[in-house]
A and B are shown apart, each in its own frame.
Chain A
Amino acid sequence: MKEVKEKARYRYELADNLLFDYEAVEKHLEKMAAKGWRIDKINTNLWKYRKAKPAKVKYAVTYAPDASVFDPHPTMNQQTLADFCAQAGWVKVGDWSQAQVFVNERENPVPIETDEEIRLEVIKKSMKKSWIPANVMLILLMVFNAWRTISRFVKDPVQDLSSYWGLLTLTFMIVATALVSANLIGYFIWFKKSEKSVAAGGTCTSPRIIRLINRWSLPAAVIYFVAIIMAAAGEGAPGAAMYMILYMAGFLLMVTILSKTKEYLKSRGVSRGKNIAVFVVLDIIMAFAMVSALTAFVLSGPGLTADKDPYEPTVKGTFLAERTYGELADPEIGYEITEIKADWLYDWCFDKKLNEKLGSMQMKHESLENPHIWGADAIYECWIHNRDYTYKWILVKDKYIVEIWGDDEIAENAVKGGGILDKLGI
């Protein structure tokens, strides 16, 4: 749990426990109580502690599969469970989703769960209720986004390889998808291991690895996000950095509004079904509003990348690749010089440049004979539909790949006239 605020009497923590990891919650709450902090209020995202006399007390987490975060009051089953627990000295201190948290001041209380097989069954039932479906949805969303990012990368790898912004975004999407998937996979592994252990007469196992991964996911995501914004701003795209900051702010605002609305409706005794309906409708409306606002920002704002004199070459590079691009006034052409610094990536990147795809259309090319006449190791003429209309020229010299485009005649003269590579400093 990440501590975010401390006051004299209260203390808040961001809740980052896995719903099925009852052991971590119990240990953490006991540790906090020993330090003089008792859990006061449990919300889905934020846990509130109040100052108290340090004490050695027992905490226990059990599960009520029929409970929901949208219930205005505890269900009959939750209440009956709490009554049973009260009989053994366990006092309910809060719940989140299906997890029910109890405290016991007695010295050696009877544990709430004395049958590990039943415990595991109830956890399985509870996880099926909302945690697994929510995680599956999240994974699908992440996989879709990662797939889009990877597709863009595979289509034009140099773009991302030559930019820390691109590289960080690409790896972030992959790492984030892997981390979100790890939670669900971690649960199934934990469940299988626990099932085996319980069948052999043991207890449920500790999900140590997934607990550790989960604990570091949020700080890692925050660091990554800040790094991406800094990279975007540093690579001449302050608009994109601002876009990402606004996107994250909008997302956090949405989460806060949804959470507050849900809590308000609960306090007004609105039923679970109506609360869920309001939550979903509000979520959709806000998502549309946010996308519209961000689109308006992109269209009317400063643009994602800063305006620059086109005749001033733009250089972007990482330890893997470097790109220099811009326009020349004489001859009037556009150019891009790519240097692949990682040798093992050269063939793949070059192949992607030579076999570029524009939408569904495949670029064709033919190499020119005797390229040395024009000072290059190889020259390719590239076109889309008709060879009469050249799309671009690709010249290879040493470790550089130079692309040249412009008016057909001017570009051809620039290539075949010789001296263009010298002019570009190669």
Chain B
Amino acid sequence: MPREKFQTLTEQMFYILLCLRKECCGMDIMEEVGRITDGRVSVGPGTLYNLLEQFLRAGMIRETKVEGRKKSYIMTQKGAVALREECERIQRQTADYWRLVRGED
């Protein structure tokens, strides 16, 4: 059963939004994601391009600058809420994990 769009974020969605907490050029996001995750997460150009389109349509990011084909984006309030909620969800998951694993120990 496919999940509801953006109800939860994939790892790639999460890091793209995280990069866009400050204005960033679309094409630079790939490198930025690699940098902040030490290469653990990589976003393919096709995936990035389509996710940016979807985030734009969902109002989670907005365009800030267009120079020829080079576009820059920044996260909107809606995007920030989604990112925070995802972060809290992961935190809750982590907390559940430690509570149960430590309990077993």
Contact = CB atoms under 8 A, between A and B. Distances in A.
Interface of A: 60, 62, 76, 79-81, 83-85, 87-88, 90, 110-115, 117-119, 121-122, 195, 198-199
Nearest to A120: B2
Residue in A87, A115, A122, A198 with the greatest tally of chain B CB atoms within 10 Å: A115
A199 B27 CA distance: 28
Contacts of A195: 2
A118 B2 contact: no
A173 B10 CA distance: 48
A118 B69 contact: no
Interface residues of B, number: 23
A125 to B, nearest CB: 9
Given A87-B30, A117-B2, A76 B69 contact: yes
Interface string B29-52: 011000000000011111111110
B13 to A, nearest CB: 8
Contacts of A198: 2
B69 A90 contact: no
A79 B45 CA distance: 12
Nearest to B51: A118
Q: Which of B10, B12, B42, B46 has the most CB of A within 10 A?
A: B46
18 contacts: A62-B46, A80-B26, A81-B46, A83-B70, A87-B27, A110-B42, A110-B45, A112-B47, A113-B44, A114-B42, A114-B44, A115-B10, A115-B47, A115-B51, A118-B50, A118-B54, A122-B50, A199-B3
Contacts of A80: 26, 49, 69, 71
A112 B46 contact: yes
Q: Which of A83, A90, A114, A195 has the most CB of B within 10 A?
A: A114
